[in-house]
Amino acid sequence: MRDSGIPWVGEIPIDWKVGKIKGCLHRHEVKGYGDATVLALYRDHGVVPKDSRDDNHNRTGKDTNDYKFVRQGDLVINKMKAWQGSLSVSGYEGIVSPAYFIYEFVGQDLDRGYADYLLRSTYKQEFERVSGGIREGQWDLPRYDFEHMQLPLPDIDEQQRIADYLDEQCAAIDEVRRTIEDEIEALHRLRKATIHRAVTKGLDECVPMRDSGIEWIGAIPRQWLLRRGKYLFTESHKKGGSDLTLLSPTQAYGVVPQSELESVVRVKEDTDFNLFKTVGPDDFIISLRSFQGGFEWSHISGVCSPAYTVFHASSDDVYSPYFARLFKCWAFIEKMNNITRGIREGKNISYGDFANILLPLPPLPEQKRIADYLDERCASIDSVIDTRTRQLERLNDYRKALIFAYVTGKKEVPSHE
């Protein structure tokens, strides 16, 4: 082994060469093919026809004649996200955003498959180092810096062997990844269904049922009541002070001190905290402008932004932990979303929107039993999800380490002789 002279690569086999990207790749950015297939670039899937997936929400321009033409075998780079691994050799012909870089392979020094593994995996941190810009997360990769980066270059036959071997190994890893991802998705669906059934149907499958007359609730146990939100809860208008903890309602963690969040919103020095709303244990907060995550239930005291709505139980028939589950149930969230969509897109949820909605009201002992059951059941499901998620993370780390070891020559492709 010898030092490659490339800090992020380290040592390479002594017979490997080192060359610059500009000696292997040339810009090839042709326009005027507006009728060609629009392609999309994914970090995980590479370059694919945009209409082959339903998770790309970037709008295609009305006039695509300014889009760049991509041939099969060209390298496509999202210059704003190259540092995240958003580049790949295209297996398709078509057009991509004018913001992308397009390079063609020239000469016989760099194999396409080897380059795809090498650049997407090993060079991300270096792309991040040289990229810059005003908007965090969308830093431009300078063309000059990219083209003058050095590459480890085994002979072309060895590059092809490395690429073929990694294709085989990564395909096996990816199959296991998909299995785990499918299991995690199924567990999330099970969790949602478990909560929905418990808060709208109860725990006794043999109990007589009746039609609630409410679409998002459906049939309910015969002894359950229906009550409007305004008869069970009251909006709180109490204002706080600067000596109270500033709280933030989140979909992932519930109501937490804002100081515990990774992205802390800075509060101006002259902010009058007496205008902020007081939050106490057992209070609910309407958390988001678009109401995608339900009502958040607070376990702690503090203050929150005046933009939020705070309310609490006003009836002795309410057991807050039960309603905490109901207010995060997918059917309730969809009901509230339909209200805002029906009135005005982007409208703030208010207590008035909630006040007249009919809610299921089980007997108080049954509310407690449902809440306790869901605490235990959801904790069990969450434990399995956490285990599978950690397995997926370890598998991803192994995949990255495997690619790095072979594209930099730390490991040699096994001989089949």
10-residue mean pLDDT series, the chain (417 residues) = 93 96 94 90 89 74 87 94 91 93 95 95 90 69 94 97 97 97 97 97 95 95 96 91 81 83 61 83 76 82 88 96 95 83 56 90 98 98 98 96 96 82
Which H or E run includes 179? helix 156-201
Identify the pLDDT of residue 26: 96
Q: Measure the CA–CA gap between 297 and 253, rounded to whole angstroms.
A: 10
Identify the pLDDT of residue 415: 80
Q: Measure the CA–CA gap between 20 and 125, rounded to whole angstroms.
A: 17
**pLDDT above 90: percentage of residues in the chain:** 67
Q: Measure the CA–CA gap between 220 and 211, rounded to whole angstroms.
A: 6
Neighbouring residues of 292: CB distance < 8 A, sequence distance ≥ 6: 251, 333, 337
CA pseudo-torsion sign 241, 238, 267, 254: positive
Half-sphere exposure in the Cβ direction for 119 (13 Å, CA):
28
Which among 222, 255, 218, 194 is positioned nearest to 335, based on CA atoms?
218
Q: Measure the CA–CA gap between 4 and 10, rounded to whole angstroms.
A: 6
Contact 124, 149 (CB under 8 A): no
Amino acid at 272: D
Which domains does the chain show, CATH number per domain?
2-154 (3.90.220.20), 225-262+271-361 (3.90.220.20)
Which H or E run includes 2? strand 2-3
Neighbouring residues of 254: CB distance < 8 A, sequence distance ≥ 6: 296, 297, 298, 299
Q: Measure the CA–CA gap between 119 and 113, rounded to whole angstroms.
A: 10
User: pLDDT per residue over 301-340, tens digit each?
Assistant: 999 888 888 999 999 999 999 999 999 999 998 888 877 6
The single-letter DSSP state of residue 220 is E
Compute the radius of gyration of the chain from its Cα atoms.
28
Q: To which residue do tokens 């009502």 refer? A: 295
Identify the pLDDT of residue 168: 96
Contact 301, 280 (CB under 8 A): yes
Q: Measure the CA–CA gap between 229 and 231, rounded to whole angstroms.
A: 5
Q: Measure the CA–CA gap between 177 and 398, rounded to whole angstroms.
A: 11
Q: Measure the CA–CA gap between 403 and 169, rounded to whole angstroms.
A: 9
The single-letter DSSP state of residue 207 is S
Q: Measure the CA–CA gap between 315 and 251, rounded to whole angstroms.
A: 26
Token output for 138? 């969308």
Identify the pLDDT of residue 305: 85
Q: To which residue do tokens 């003058």 refer? A: 148
In a 10 Å sphere around its CB, with 0-12 CB exposed, 13-18 middle and 19+ buried, how is residue 249 labelled? buried
Identify the pLDDT of residue 170: 96
Q: To which residue do tokens 């089980």 refer? A: 362
Identify the pLDDT of residue 330: 92
